[in-house]
Structure 1
Amino acid sequence: MAKYIILIYGDAKQWEAMTPAQQEANEAAHAAFRDAGGSRVLGGHELELAPMATTLRTDGADGVTTTDGPFLEAKEAVGGYYLVEAADLDEVLALAARLPEVHVAHSGVEIRPIIDHG
């Protein structure tokens, strides 16, 4: 079995503007995703919004500069992730299609295989 990370992207302003009913529906959809995935879902978390990020970069002089906020200015940012185990990409695609972020205009998901260095 291979491992994949599903990165959930979206517009933080849209997420913040969700009504309580929309938030409940979103949470219910994620619960349904986790139920459908069962033991294939190895983990996952919702992340704080992008403005809460801290970025580290080289300062060009063998040092490090710390900056509040995300590295890239973008409308969409990573809002959460799931780590899943599946036989192949097709299995992950079918599971990820259940995520609510796939079905709204302001967000989407990215799937990447995990490299096993062990």
Structure 2
Amino acid sequence: MPRNFMEAQYFNMLEDVQRRRLTNELEEERLVYVDEVTQAQFEIARQIRDAVMAIPSRIADELAAATTPTECARILNRELRTALQAVADAADQIEPDPTPTADEPDPPTSPDSPTAAAEQPHPQEA
């Protein structure tokens, strides 16, 4: 609670500066919504699970025909690398939607907002 008028003006000015900073960072795409990151993480985890779970049925016959442990390891390594590379390639294609949808909240107005996003580097900066 401000003790006097000047202190109240100072706090008001700080809030305005924070609001402008967050708005600018959102416009510059230096901030992302937590929901977008959570959705992207879920999608990538699902793709990893699907890719790895598809390996046994795809290589069962080839593994059954393998005659040495070295050959089995080579087959497993090849398939795991292929599956993980496919997931990595798909993850590179994930782009945030620059236009908010109807269910997205308005940009946060303070750093304490529950929808305030974590600062992330822009994909081209990384």
Shorter chain as denominator, the TM-score bin is: under 0.3
Q: Give the TM-score of the pair, scaled to structure 2.
A: 0.24
